[in-house]
């Protein structure tokens, strides 16, 4: 782990082994950190904060840019690490590393634009102004599905805001996070500005959420864990950014370009084996085009090549672990029990190259309805469930009939309808004839039980800043 600029073992001396989800073989041994390591890291960040904050912004920005440069130079090696511990195809892993570098470039630029305001004042003998200042020590708790770019996105924003940061990566993907930590140290960040603690989530999280020196926590993960962290943060009134679960609707109207819609759906649904928080979870297809969409999607899904992500021909890798596989099986079994129709897939893959791995065949289910688990919970797997609808108001109401509101998608060629639906859907993000929701320049995040706050864009920096009012009597 990286604490106070040193590579250290866990205080307990214990380690754990991460297994490759494609083979079951060990990828590496990682320190099993606990409360003591988290305390150590928070103290290091608190000690580094004043110096980092006082560093001229041009130097802080340059350090972030250099980190991006290290990631680019090592993209091939880090991509292999991501694929080995997380499973995604090697090309996607490489794209993730490059996206992380781009995020750091963006934050390096945005660090220079932490502007305040001069506010028109009704009183003649007073002036009102605001400055935006770093909140202090920040904690970043990151998920396993995009293990490099999530660390870069959270730590990059915190560092650009001149905060010091403690990262706790997911237990499934510690090595990817440590590779980013290595890039930060090579880029010359001062000791303690970035710390990474691997190990037991509850004991490390308890310290990060309980310690008064930590003023902001940025978390990406499940809604259940987000709710727990929110309760834990109450005791010290921390600022929280939560990027939680989704139940993304993907709406295809009868006037949509069906080729475009189906190609986009197949791409965004099966990327990362369906394990992304913006993955469509409920595909609503207008009844008059349901048969055509089902047939085209099924054809496209049958052609997907499933295998070890290190093999160049692989398009869909394994799920992250066997628990994830069991959840997908449960959702598919429940849907079939309740009357869904299996169009393709529907089983785990075993034997031969799949031995020891957590592989599930890309699956399409039609005749899905809103009573099924697959339509109410995030499946986080390579399964597309198709529902039908007949009217615009009806489908907007159905799309909104969930406590979640992260990503959503609508395919139509009617401009008025595109606006009405985009405005009516309760979600943090709507893709209209598009599925590329994530960009360094753009605010990413959700509403309702999908979370609080935004990452990326100028809004992403606000999560790590406080606005201070200064009044001046003249």
As annotated, the active-site residues are 243
Beta-bridge partner residues of 384: 364
Q: What are phi and psi of 16, to 5 degrees?
A: -140, 165
CB of 206: closest distance to ligand ADP in angstroms? 7
CB of 37: closest distance to ligand ADP in angstroms? 14
Query: For the chain, how many helices (H) and strands (E)?
Result: 15, 24
CA pair distance 68, 143, nearest whole angstrom = 20
Which of 215, 209, 183, 236 shows the shortest CA–CA distance to 53? 215
CB of 414: closest distance to ligand ADP in angstroms? 37
**Which residue's CB atom is positioned nearest to ligand ADP?**
205
**What are the distances in angstroms from CA 298 to CA 86, 267, 448?**
26, 13, 32
CB of 144: closest distance to ligand ADP in angstroms? 6
Q: Using CB under 6 A, list all residues that contact ligand ADP.
A: 141-143, 168-171, 201-202, 205, 221-222, 225, 228
**What are the distances in angstroms from CA 200 to CA 42, 151, 170, 206?**
16, 18, 9, 10
Strands 214-220 and 239-243: parallel
In this complex, which beta carbon is closest to ligand ADP, that of residue 243 or of residue 462?
A: 243
CB of 145: closest distance to ligand ADP in angstroms? 7
Total number of residues shown for the chain: 474
Q: What are phi and psi of 6, to 5 degrees?
A: -115, 145
CA pair distance 385, 335, nearest whole angstrom = 9
In this complex, which beta carbon is closest to ligand ADP, that of residue 20 or of residue 142?
A: 142
CA pair distance 363, 361, nearest whole angstrom = 6
CA pair distance 296, 6, nearest whole angstrom = 54
In this complex, which beta carbon is closest to ligand ADP, that of residue 171 or of residue 369?
A: 171
In this complex, which beta carbon is closest to ligand ADP, that of residue 1 or of residue 170?
A: 170
In this complex, which beta carbon is closest to ligand ADP, that of residue 245 or of residue 307?
A: 245
Which of 407, 183, 388, 419 shows the shortest CA–CA distance to 278? 407
In this complex, which beta carbon is closest to ligand ADP, that of residue 221 or of residue 357?
A: 221
CB of 455: closest distance to ligand ADP in angstroms? 15
CA pair distance 210, 220, nearest whole angstrom = 18
């Amino acid at each position: 782990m990286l604490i106070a600029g040193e590579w250290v073992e866990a205080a307990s001396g214990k380690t754990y082994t991460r297994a490759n989800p494609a083979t079951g073989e060990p990828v590496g041994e990682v320190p099993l950190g606990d409360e003591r390591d988290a305390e150590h890291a928070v103290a290091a960040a608190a000690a580094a904060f004043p110096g980092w904050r006082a560093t001229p912004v041009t130097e802080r920005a340059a350090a972030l840019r250099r980190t991006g440069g290290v990631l680019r130079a090592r993209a091939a090696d880090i991509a292999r690490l991501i694929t080995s511990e997380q499973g995604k195809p090697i090309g996607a892993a490489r794209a993730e590393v490059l996206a992380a570098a781009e995020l750091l470039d963006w934050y390096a630029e945005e660090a220079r634009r932490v502007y305040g305001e001069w506010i028109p004042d009704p009183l003649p003998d007073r002036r009102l102004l605001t400055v935006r200042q770093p909140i202090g020590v920040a904690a970043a708790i990151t998920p396993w599905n995009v293990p490099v770019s999530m660390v870069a996105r959270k730590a990059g924003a915190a560092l650009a805001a001149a905060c010091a940061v403690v990262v706790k990566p997911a237990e499934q993907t510690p090595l990817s996070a440590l590779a980013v930590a290595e890039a930060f140290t090579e880029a010359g960040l001062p000791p303690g500005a970035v710390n990474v603690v691997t190990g037991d989530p509850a004991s490390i999280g308890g310290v990060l959420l309980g310690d008064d020196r930590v003023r902001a926590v940025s978390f990406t993960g499940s809604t259940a864990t987000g709710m727990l962290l929110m309760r834990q943060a109450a005791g010290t009134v921390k600022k929280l950014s939560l990027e939680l679960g989704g139940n993304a609707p993907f709406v295809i109207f009868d006037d949509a370009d069906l080729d475009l819609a189906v190609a986009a759906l197949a791409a965004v649904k099966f990327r990362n084996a369906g394990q992304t928080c913006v993955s469509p979870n409920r595909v609503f297809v207008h009844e008059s085009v349901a048969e055509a969409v089902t047939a085209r999607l099924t054809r496209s899904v049958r052609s997907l090549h499933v295998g070890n992500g290190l093999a160049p021909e692989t398009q869909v890798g394994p799920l992250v672990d066997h628990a994830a596989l069991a959840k997908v099986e449960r959702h598919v079994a429940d849907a079939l029990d309740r009357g869904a129709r299996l169009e393709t897939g529907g089983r785990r893959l075993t034997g031969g190259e799949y031995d020891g791995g957590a592989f599930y065949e890309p699956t399409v289910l039609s005749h899905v309805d809103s009573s099924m688990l697959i339509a109410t919970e995030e499946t986080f797997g390579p399964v597309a469930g198709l529902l039908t609808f007949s009217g615009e108001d009806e489908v907007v109401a159905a799309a909104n009939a969930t406590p979640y509101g992260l990503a959503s998608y609508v395919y139509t060629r009617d401009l008025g309808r595109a606006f009405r639906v985009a405005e009516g859907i309760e979600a943090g993000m709507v893709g209209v004839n598009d599925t590329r929701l994530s960009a360094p320049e753009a605010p990413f995040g959700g509403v309702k039980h999908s979370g609080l706050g935004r990452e990326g864009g100028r809004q992403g920096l606000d999560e790590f800043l406080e606005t201070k009012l200064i009044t001046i009597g003249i």
